Copies of this chain bind each other. A is one copy, B any other.
Amino acid sequence: MINFTPGPSQLYFTVQDHVKKAFRDGIPSLSHRGKQFESIFAETTEGLRSLLNISSNYFIVFAGSASEIWERSIQNLVEEKSFHLVNGAFSKRFFEIAQQLNKRPDKSEVRAGQSFEKIQIPTGSELIALTHNETSTGVSLSMPFIHSVRDENPGSLVVVDAVSSLPFPDFDYSKVDAVFFSVQKGFGLPAGLGVWIVNERCLAKSEQLLSKGLSIGSFHSLPTLHSHALKNQTPETPNVLGIYLLGKVVSDFLRKGSHAIRKETEYKAAILYQALEAHPLIKPFVTNKNDRSKTVIVAECGERTAALSTYLQAGGFFPGDGYGEFKKRHLRFANFPAHSKEQFESMVDVLATFQ
């Protein structure tokens, strides 16, 4: 059964071998204060830097999950006001976390399945939260849109949730301030690790809040994460095995090349959207082609949802349920590097014969 749920998803095909080698080499028992761990940390972060083309004024740190990074972003980067572009359950949760941390967040909200036109962001928004890929609905923000936000709001920090899209998007890191993801989606790894890519403007902001006497958290405050990262360490005993495996899969991705990964992703997305458009009973949920995610593809299946899911499973393909209110009307298909062209083609062939 090939797993097309958008996360946890199909494991990348090399993961199990990397796990075997990790146990053979004693990685799970390594001290996180030793040289061997430091070189794992360095290999993983340098690999990511190279794969995602991250500039040197950024540093890379680890948390337990992307949910934690939502919280740490608000805690470290916002004194009062964040602004959130909300178009689904996950972008909304980022907004709600700001409320739970007693900030005064504001938002621009559009209906599920839609993206944003020109938006007015209130001056004084310290952080602007963009969700590159809304996993609940399959809407992606376009790169020009994301890159325009900071030009128009130079005083704000632009923070991008790329949980279910990286390593696909090619961000211009001079136009954003922080990007984060979790490893169980596009990187095809077991869950339990969030990755936060942050620049010096973010660090300066967190230090400024701290110097004003605000609490920015403790062991996972940005200054603490940063000072440890400079030594290739983490403040706490981290998910050492997770960091090791991420480094190994990033090496595999580098060998394949990010260009090839992106081309394959686009190809697989194209054939699935084409099949959905051609199908008499189902269709893409996102109507505007420019807003359609390449990495989480959502099909509107109406009352045929359960039947299609069963049909695909009989063919060896496990689609993701719709999210929340769409559970009984949508199916979601992850399109990650772990899903090969051949698997995608076979799945699309089966889907096309559904009636």
Contacts and interface: CB of A to CB of B under 8 A. Distances in A.
Interface stretch (A29-37, A268-276, A295-303, A307-315): A29-37
A66 B101 CA distance: 22
Contacts of A169: none
Contacts of A239: 64, 190-192, 239, 242
Main secondary structure of the interface of A (DSSP, over half): loop
Contacts of A30: 8
A32 B191 contact: yes
Contacts of A242: 192, 239
Interface in A1-18: 1, 3, 5, 7-11, 15-16
A102 B240 contact: no
A9 B31 CA distance: 8
B191 A101 contact: no
A316 interface: no
Interface stretch (A52-60, A111-119, A152-160, A212-220): A212-220
Given A64-B64, A219-B71, A8 B100 contact: no
A172 interface: no
Contacts of A131: none
B63 A218 contact: no
A241 B192 contact: yes
Interface in A238-262: 238-242
14 contacts: A3-B26, A8-B30, A8-B237, A11-B28, A19-B23, A65-B238, A66-B237, A68-B219, A71-B217, A71-B220, A101-B218, A102-B214, A192-B238, A192-B242
Given A3-B29, A11-B29, 13 more contacts: A5-B29, A8-B30, A9-B29, A11-B28, A15-B28, A19-B23, A28-B189, A64-B192, A65-B236, A70-B219, A101-B217, A192-B192, A239-B239
Q: Which A-B residue pairs are the 4 nearest by beta carbons?
A: A64-B64, A192-B239, A67-B236, A28-B190
